[in-house]
Amino acid sequence: MKRTLALLAILPTLLLSAPRAGAGAGNSDFKSGVFDPPSAAPDFQLQGSNGSPVVLSKFRGKVVAIAFGFSYCQRVCPVTLTNLSEVFKKLGPAASDVQVIFVSVDPERDTPGRLREFLQSFNSSFLGATGQKAQLDGVRQAYGVFANRVQSEDKKLGYEVHHSSSIFLIDREGKLRALVPFGRPPSAILNDINLLLKG
């Protein structure tokens, strides 16, 4: 009886100190840069590499990873997309709750078809997004992404685009939660996407 009474007395304390199911991960658990408080990810509508419009807000309920780049990129984008492809392999069935959107910084050459062909080699679910120069400029500005067209040393390429190389992570509610700087390993990206999947 005494033991039962003692247990009842400490029950409220136990309940309050126990980790709550579904409680969100703390910012200190993230391996990438975290925004606090998170703000709504700027919405956009662009042409998708699948032939349909890509509207960011339509992906509510999924975790979205946005990378900016171009299909003729030889140094940065292949690394970013290979890392994301690795992450997808490790996510297993949970990958269906994650969408990668690759937003072009090269409207002149990145047609929907060209993007589809380029992204196919990394993961067939990755979605390319392109559009008119003004549209893409607007999206970049909203995300604080820079892109400068420079003459390429490779004459066949003509030009290349120097651009921000971070990955933006958006949670299921459409909030911009984290920014993964270039060079972070797939394990770090996987860690953060898993945190966002758990909510």
Q: Does 146 bind other proteins (CB under 8 A)?
A: yes
How far apart CA 109 and CA 36 sit, in angstroms, is 37
Answer whether 168's CB lies under 8 Å from 143's CB: yes
Q: Does 47 bind other proteins (CB under 8 A)?
A: no
Minimum Å distance from CB 39 to other proteins? 5
Q: Does 24 bind other proteins (CB under 8 A)?
A: no
Which of 112, 166, 174, 195 touches other proteins by CB under 8 A? 166
Q: Does 56 bind other proteins (CB under 8 A)?
A: no
How many other CB atoms sit within 10 Å of the CB of residue 129? 27
Q: Does 113 bind other proteins (CB under 8 A)?
A: no
How far apart CA 157 and CA 136 sit, in angstroms, is 21
Q: Of the listed pieces 24-32, 46-54, 88-96, 99-107, which binds other proteins according to CB under 8 A?
A: 24-32
Minimum Å distance from CB 162 to other proteins? 8
Q: Does 172 bind other proteins (CB under 8 A)?
A: no
Q: Of the listed pieces 4-12, 35-43, 88-96, 103-111, which binds other proteins according to CB under 8 A?
A: 35-43
Q: Does 83 bind other proteins (CB under 8 A)?
A: no
Question: Residues in contact with other proteins, total (CB under 8 A)?
Answer: 21
Burial class (CB in 10 A: 0-12, 13-18, 19+), 175: middle
In DSSP notation, 63-108 reads EEEEEEE-TT-SSSHHHHHHHHHHHHHHHGGGGGGEEEEEEES-TT
How far apart CA 150 and CA 157 sit, in angstroms, is 11
Answer whether 179's CB lies under 8 Å from 33's CB: yes
Q: Does 132 bind other proteins (CB under 8 A)?
A: no
**Backbone conformation region of residue 65, classed left if phi is above 0, alpha if psi is from -120 to 50, else beta:** beta
Angle between helices 186-198 and 77-91 (to 10 degrees): 50
Minimum Å distance from CB 32 to other proteins? 7
How far apart CA 124 and CA 105 sit, in angstroms, is 20
Minimum Å distance from CB 38 to other proteins? 8
Q: Does 109 bind other proteins (CB under 8 A)?
A: no
Q: Does 39 bind other proteins (CB under 8 A)?
A: yes
The residues of the shown chain that bind other proteins, judged by CB under 8 A, are: 27-28, 30-37, 39, 143-144, 146, 164-166, 179, 181, 183, 188
